Structure 1
Amino acid sequence: MRENTFRNPTKPKVSRPRVATKGQRKKKKGLFTMVERLFERSYLGRKGIDLQLLKPWLMIMVLGIVYIFNSHYAEKTSRKIDKLQKEVRDLRSQYTTLKYSYMYSSKQSEVAKKVQQLGLEESEVPPFKIIVKEK
């Protein structure tokens, strides 16, 4: 080990440029760091307002903005759901009407009326099986 010695106060200090080593951290470039820099330059920063109070207030403001966005999105979605439900009701009524008209037009009496214009007549003899006897 070396001996303890006193520094010589007569030597002028030589200032060397700082070189970043592995252990040193670089300055952060995050959102709160930028806000703190702006806040330090502003009027409130010069008056001595604590910067630690700024982070919770910013968080509250961000949560408020998210809350407002969420409520607007929910209202928009609700309006869209109402519109789609009305459209489903309309389509269901159209389906019921069309189904009724198709069932009515496929009745035997209606088919006979339409076919009569073509010159076809309804058979009055019931159908029968044709049986072929094998020899």
Structure 2
Amino acid sequence: MAENRFKKKEKKSNGGGGGLGRGIFGSIERALKIGALFEQGVPVKFMPYGMFLAFLLVFYIWNTHYAERTTRKVNVLEVEVEDMKADYTTMKADYEVESKLSSVAKRVKDIGLIESPEPPKKLVVQ
């Protein structure tokens, strides 16, 4: 006698599951024939393009990091320049006050130098 076997039922695709359904992604996959292209692995003819894209990606990432690092350095240097400008302005004001005749006279009074009561004379050489 024959054995009892289950009858295989064919699944109806509703487009949502795997495979080439009737949905949007199934249509796109059928149009591009992506499955047939990569059935036996990645073709060697795509390797130069893939390597070029990988190089561009690495270069783009490196360039972004370099730009951010440079921006941080510029910001630090701008703060340092502002501090130096403030120091310069302060030192210049102090120098102007200290170089006045009255300030110099006060400092040299201790060593015995005094200010001349006569104005300076102009010498003319013929």
TM-score by length of 1: 0.58
Which letter does structure 1 place at the counterpart of 2:119?
Answer: P
- Tell me what 1:92 maps to: 85
Matches within 5 A, 1:1-135: 47-128=40-121
What is the deviation of 1:47?
A: 2.6
What is the CA deviation profile of residues 25-54 of structure 1, one whole-angstrom value per residue up to 9, with x for unaligned ones? xxxxxxxxxxxxxxxxxxxx9934311122
Determine the C-alpha separation between the residues in 2 that align with 1:79 and 1:58: 32
Which letter does structure 1 place at the counterpart of 2:83?
Answer: D
Alignment RMSD (CA, Å)? 2.5
What is the CA deviation profile of residues 59-114 of structure 1, one whole-angstrom value per residue up to 9, with x for unaligned ones? 11110000000000000111111111111111111111111111110001101100
What is the deviation of 1:129?
A: 5.5
Which letter does structure 1 place at the counterpart of 2:57?
Answer: G
Relative distance call for 1:124 and 1:57 in structure 2 (3 A) is same
Determine the C-alpha separation between the residues in 1 that align with 2:81 and 2:118: 47
Which letter does structure 2 place at the counterpart of 1:122?
Answer: E
Determine the C-alpha separation between the residues in 2 that align with 1:107 and 1:121: 15
Number of matched pairs? 88
Which letter does structure 1 place at the counterpart of 2:92?
Answer: K
**Structure 1 unmatched ranges of 5 or more:** 1-44
Determine the C-alpha separation between the residues in 1 that align with 2:123 and 2:70: 66
Relative distance call for 1:81 and 1:121 in structure 2 (3 A) is same
* Secondary structure at 2:111 match in 1: coil
Q: Which runs of 4+ in 1 moved over 4 A?
A: none
- What is the percentage of aligned positions where both structures have the same residue? 40
Which letter does structure 2 place at the counterpart of 1:123?
Answer: S
Determine the C-alpha separation between the residues in 2 that align with 1:89 and 1:120: 41
